[in-house]
Structure 1
Amino acid sequence: MAKVAFIGLGVMGYPMAGHLVKAGHEVTVWNRSADKADRWVAQHKGRKAASPKAAAASAELVMACVGNDDDLRSVVYGDDGAFAGMAKNAVFVDHTTASADVARELHKAAKAGGFEFIDAPVSGGQAGAENGQLTIMCGGDVPVYDRVKPVIQAYAKMQNLMGPAGSGQLTKMMNQICIAGLVQGLSEALAFGRASGLDLVKAVEVISKGAAGSWQMDNRHKTMIEGKFDYGFAVDWMRKDLGICLAEARRNGASLPVAALVDQFYAEVQQMGGNRWDTSSLIARLEATKTKK
């Protein structure tokens, strides 16, 4: 069993750190909001640290799951940052959905400090984190990945090394590009079916068993039909992720016309007050557009 530090106890990190305890690992946590760390310790019987540096000090593996590139740098660098406390040959595993650039930057900084780095963004949402059923896309060196794989198995249903540093983040970008197109397509299909007077639940029951089927269709169609959008990844976070995808595409020359369009649709959802609605709320934009007409 490993000595593990976990930095960031948001809707994903909180249950992920809990699964590590259940798997028998010795876990120390740090969170910007100390009361959440206190609640986690009371629930899971781990330890709380006063800073990322203190959390990392005795850890073999340091996990992080924070908001974006800037949040990640804020918990890694500086006198109280995790890198200041990491032991030689320890591994920093970053579960944040961030840019490939920051992954490569931190991999280089970790090597210079005598320890290791793996970028390991996750997919599966809050439910996947709570149920220990996340998909994890990793970037880094093979021997390092082999060291961390048995530990992150505590909350993974699928994990793989995708290539060198940054490859995990690039794979996560592919994931978000796919989701953007799928949710928009599902939204349009449901709006079309409603306008046509079809029984939407019955229609989805049929088409979900064919080539149109998807996780989004299986898990979100009923709440989309009901106009309920409190069941997953928030629009604000999806726009952050799509912004990363579009920036990377400008660098590598890939064409992302659908992702760019859906990003603008999400901007319209934000203007409707849907910043914290889940990503399936694209259908609300279509309904609002229909009402205006």
Structure 2
Amino acid sequence: MAKVAFLGLGVMGFPMAGHIAAAGHEVTVYNRTASKAKNWVEKHGGTMAATPALAAAGADFVFACVGDDPDALAVALGDEGAFGAMREGAVYIDNSTVSADVARQLDAAARAHNFASLDAPVSGGQAGAENGKLTVMIGGDDDAFSLALPVIECYSARVVHMGGAGKGQQAKMANQICIAGLVQGLSEALNFATEAGLDTDKLLEAISGGAAQSWQMVNRGHTMVANEFDFGFAVDWMRKDLRICLAEAAQNGAPLPVTKIVAGYYDELSADGYGRNDTSSLIRRLRKS
């Protein structure tokens, strides 16, 4: 069993850290809001620390799951960040969805301190985190990946090593590009079906067994029809992810015309007060009322 630190206990990090503890590892947690760390310890055992550095001291593996580029840099490289306390030979695993540039920056800083950093964004949403069934896309050193894999598998159903530093984040960008188009297409189809007077339960039964089937259709189709969006992956988080995708595409020259349009739709929803709704709330834009 390993000594593990977990930094960031949001809707994803809280259950992910719990799965690591349930597997028998010694876990110390840190969260910016200390009450969440206290709640985690009360539920899962382990210990809590007041700073990322105190959590990371002496750990074999340090996991992070935070919001955006500045958060990822602060928790790792800030004045009380984890990198200043990590031991040589340890592995830092960043489950946050951030830019590939930040992933490469963390990799370089880790190498300078004689430990390793893996960018390891996840897909599968809150339900995947709670059920320990996430997909993890990893960039970084081969040896570090092999060392960290048994612990990463505590909360995942699929782990794929994509290549060097930043490749995990680029794979997550591709994932989010797919989702943006899928949710818009599903929104248009379900709104069309409603306007045509179709029985949407029967429609979803029919098309979810064919070529149009997707995770979004199976897991969000019925709630979209019912106008239920108070759960899941928030619009504002998707806006952040698509901003990262568009910035990366501007660097590598890949055109993202549909992604750019859908990102604008999500901006509209957020401006209308729906920023905490699930991404499937995209259908709101199409409804007459």
TM-score (norm 2): 0.99
Q: 1:271 and 2:271 equivalent?
A: yes
Whole-Å separation in 1 of the counterparts to 2:160 and 2:223: 32
In the other structure, the counterpart of 1:138 is 138
State the Cα distance separating 1:270 from its structure 2 match: 1.2
State the Cα distance separating 1:78 from its structure 2 match: 3.1
Give the letter for the 2:197 counterpart.
G
In the other structure, the counterpart of 1:111 is 111
State the Cα distance separating 1:76 from its structure 2 match: 1.1
In the other structure, the counterpart of 2:12 is 12
State the Cα distance separating 1:272 from its structure 2 match: 2.0
Give the letter for the 1:103 counterpart.
A
In the other structure, the counterpart of 1:261 is 261
Whole-Å separation in 2 of the counterparts to 1:60 and 1:170: 26
Give the 3-state SS of the residue equivalent to 1:63 in structure 2: strand
In the other structure, the counterpart of 1:178 is 178
Give the letter for the 1:223 counterpart.
T
Give the letter for the 1:186 counterpart.
L
Whole-Å separation in 2 of the counterparts to 1:263 and 1:271: 12
State the Cα distance separating 1:231 from its structure 2 match: 2.6
Whole-Å separation in 1 of the counterparts to 2:79 and 2:200: 56
State the Cα distance separating 1:80 from its structure 2 match: 1.2
Give the letter for the 2:121 counterpart.
P
Structure 1 segments of 4 or more deviating over 2 A?
A: none
Whole-Å separation in 2 of the counterparts to 1:213 and 1:77: 43
Whole-Å separation in 1 of the counterparts to 2:8 and 2:65: 5
Q: 1:250 and 2:259 equivalent?
A: no
Gaps spanning 5+ residues in structure 1: where? none
Whole-Å separation in 2 of the counterparts to 1:265 and 1:50: 39
The 5 Å alignment of 1:62-77 reads 62-77=62-77
In the other structure, the counterpart of 1:285 is 285
Gaps spanning 5+ residues in structure 2: where? none
Whole-Å separation in 2 of the counterparts to 1:115 and 1:197: 60
In the other structure, the counterpart of 2:56 is 56
Whole-Å separation in 1 of the counterparts to 2:187 and 2:201: 14
Whole-Å separation in 2 of the counterparts to 1:246 and 1:101: 13
1:123-159, CA deviations, whole angstroms, 9 ceiling, x for partnerless residues? 0000000000000000001111000001110000000
State the Cα distance separating 1:160 from its structure 2 match: 1.1
Whole-Å separation in 2 of the counterparts to 1:114 and 1:183: 43
Whole-Å separation in 2 of the counterparts to 1:203 and 1:79: 55
Whole-Å separation in 2 of the counterparts to 1:19 and 1:214: 27
In the other structure, the counterpart of 1:95 is 95
Give the letter for the 1:283 counterpart.
I
In the other structure, the counterpart of 2:82 is 82
Q: 1:35 and 2:35 equivalent?
A: yes
Give the letter for the 2:22 counterpart.
K
Whole-Å separation in 2 of the counterparts to 1:187 and 1:269: 14
Whole-Å separation in 2 of the counterparts to 1:109 and 1:272: 40
Calculate percent identity across the aligned residue pairs: 61
Whole-Å separation in 2 of the counterparts to 1:214 and 1:196: 22
Whole-Å separation in 1 of the counterparts to 2:50 and 2:274: 35
Give the 3-state SS of the residue equivalent to 1:275 in structure 2: coil
Give the letter for the 1:161 counterpart.
H
1:23-73, CA deviations, whole angstroms, 9 ceiling, x for partnerless residues? 010000000001110110111111101110010001000000000110011
In the other structure, the counterpart of 2:223 is 223
RMSD between superposed Cα atoms in Å: 0.7
Give the letter for the 1:272 counterpart.
D
The 5 Å alignment of 1:197-212 reads 197-212=197-212
Give the letter for the 2:171 counterpart.
T
Give the letter for the 2:188 counterpart.
E
Give the 3-state SS of the residue equivalent to 2:241 in structure 1: helix
Give the letter for the 2:179 counterpart.
I
Count of matched residue positions in the alignment of Structure 1 and Structure 2? 289
TM-score (norm 1): 0.98
Q: 1:191 and 2:191 equivalent?
A: yes
